[in-house]
Amino acid sequence: MEKIKVLCVDDSALMRKIMREILDQQPDMEVVGCAADPYIAREMIKQRHPDVLTLDIEMPRMDGLSFLEKIMRLRPMPVIMVSTLTTNGSQSTLRALELGAVDFVTKQTLNFKQGVSAYANLLSDKIRVAAKANIIKMRQPAKYPKLNLSLPQVTNDIIAIGALTGGTEAIRHLLQSLPQNMPAIVVAQHMPAGFTRSFAERLNCCCFLQVKEAEQGEKLLAGYVYIAPGNFHLALTKTGRYYQIVLHQQDMVNHHRPSVDNLFFSVAQIAGKRAIGMILTGMGNDGAMGLLAMRQAGAYTFAQNEKSCVVYGMPKVALQLNAVDEVGDINDLGRLLLDKLEQRYAG
């Protein structure tokens, strides 16, 4: 079996030691080098040709973001960022994902007694996914014209979106293409607590829609996007004319909280045929059964195509379950969604 060759870049000698010890225990991985800064890493990449790079964000001489930008321009490869859970750390991590990093892990996992074991499992799983990832350069999102209708602030229509690995950029790309006069949109994207608020704030600055982290009990309004908070499942209830947010911390679903399945099952039950579901890039099967439930309840469903997915897992399973009405490239899903809404309102 050919091993996954990993290069670790971190200015902390302790982190380099921990990374090597963790990855040396994985039978399918080989650490081909550990570098204290990007200049050393650059030479190691030329000589040792790693399959996956783990990259610290905060380093002397050259920071991780600057190095990542150079890598993606000159030698695109799967990169996993190693981040802190601070506000600055989350913003830098989201910027790294925009630049082309596949995923990230946080150093804080190591702060607990059994943290090394949890970190080892998380890191090795993410490296395995990254090694198979499709490194994509998305084109600038197209700006589509407004829907030919005036939506009331309260509408029975709702759009539910779910994604995992590669999802932050897919979601950003999709939302940037949409006009402000849209039905309410709810999103489940697996991220740690603290990162989802930064994600929502970042999206809010670059979209026509109003984007925010979802709050317990708030009523959904047209023109708004609600991001499930990290470590919380997002579900819906309906009171009178309004859909309302329900956040809870019941058991993880498919090893995730928030879970896409949890969101989709809730939307299927509460909104039925007034909903539209979209399953985007991500490893595993989270969201596939929920999307099937949505379709069976009368919702229209989309899946991202293999070519534009960073990891073609969740959409693939959804297709195998016959949960998908229409498949589209991430560059086209915004237009396809608007076409469907136009048809719905014209009818």
Q: What is the pLDDT of residue 319?
A: 98
- Distances from the Cα of 227 to the Cα of 20, 311, 330, angstroms: 35, 21, 19
Q: What is the pLDDT of residue 112?
A: 47
Compute the chain's Rg from CA coordinates: 20
Query: What CATH number did the domain enclosing 26 receive?
Result: 3.40.50.2300
Q: Report H helices in the chain.
A: 13-24, 38-48, 64-74, 87-99, 115-131, 167-176, 195-204, 260-271, 288-296, 314-320, 333-346
Same domain flag for 116 and 172? no
In tens, the pLDDT along 214-269 reads: 999 999 999 999 999 999 999 999 988 899 999 998 887 878 899 999 999 999 99
Is the peptide bond between 258 and the residue preceding it cis, with omega within 30 degrees of 0? yes
Query: What CATH number did the domain enclosing 173 receive?
Result: 3.40.50.180
Q: Angle formed by the axes of helices 195-204 and 167-176, to 10°?
A: 30
Domain count, the chain: 2
Q: Which residues of the chain have pLDDT under 70?
A: 85-87, 108-115, 137-154, 347
Count Cβ atoms within 10 A of the Cβ of residue 90 and give its class: 0-12 exposed, 13-18 middle, 19 or more buried: buried
Domain that holds residue 41: 4-131
Domain boundary among 91, 114, 131: 131
Q: What is the pLDDT of residue 330?
A: 95
Q: What is the pLDDT of residue 113?
A: 47
Same domain flag for 179 and 327? yes
Domain boundary among 77, 96, 131: 131
In tens, the pLDDT along 42-79 reads: 999 999 999 999 999 988 888 999 999 999 999 999 99
Q: What is the pLDDT of residue 318?
A: 98
Q: What is the pLDDT of residue 146?
A: 63
Which one, of 241, 320, 333, lies nearest residue 288 by Cα? 320
Same domain flag for 265 and 189? yes
Same domain flag for 165 and 202? yes
- Distances from the Cα of 173 to the Cα of 184, 238, 242, 270, angstroms: 17, 30, 28, 28
Q: Would residue 33 count as lying in a domain?
A: yes
Q: What is the pLDDT of residue 183?
A: 94
Same domain flag for 102 and 184? no
Q: What is the pLDDT of residue 342?
A: 86
Q: Which residues are catalytic?
A: 190, 286
Same domain flag for 194 and 335? yes
Strand order in the sheet with 300-304: 210-213, 224-227, 184-189, 158-163, 275-279, 300-304, 326-328
At 215, list the tokens: 């709050």
Q: Would residue 205 count as lying in a domain?
A: yes
Q: Could you tell me whether strands 52-56 and 29-35 are parallel, antiparallel, or unpaired per DSSP bridges?
A: unpaired
Same domain flag for 119 and 171? no
Interatomic CA distance for residues 182 and 103, integer angstroms: 29
